[in-house]
Amino acid sequence: MSDKLKLKKGDLVIVISGEDRGRKGRVLKAYPKTNRVIVEKVHMIKKHTKPSQKNPQGGIVNKEAPVHASNVMLFNEKLNTVSKPVFVDRAGTRVRVCKKSGDEL
């Protein structure tokens, strides 16, 4: 298992391997313990649901499944390229910045 998950909820990422390679999306949820993230419209699965009060009809629902964090990379919209998030000490606080451009994330 990796030491730390460098992606956060809301980050724009691009899938770099797997069947959804090349797709971009925002991180909806991050699971640091298992080193996985859920990315919108990536790794869609069909889930069979029983009828419930929330969904009285039941049926088959399409939803996103977790993807391993090593299969996605942070995407910088300004540079239109992938980048790495790094921590920099600014005014006594640790700030996450883009390694290539130095923009704050």
The DSSP code sequence of 7-46 is --TT-EEEE-SSTTTT-EEEEEEEETTTTEEEETTSSEEE
Which pLDDT tens digit goes with each residue over 18-40?
Answer: 999 999 999 999 999 999 999 99
What is the value of pTM for the model shown? 0.83
Close Cβ partners of 43 (under 8 Å, ≥ 6 residues apart): 18, 20, 64, 65, 66, 67
Give the chain's domains with CATH numbers. Answer: 12-98 (2.30.30.30)
Find out whether 7 and 96 touch, Cβ atoms under 8 Å: no
pLDDT tens digits for range 66-96: 999 999 999 988 888 888 888 888 888 888 8
Distance of alpha carbon 76 from alpha carbon 84, whole angstroms: 9
Is the pLDDT at 1 greater than 70? The verdict is no
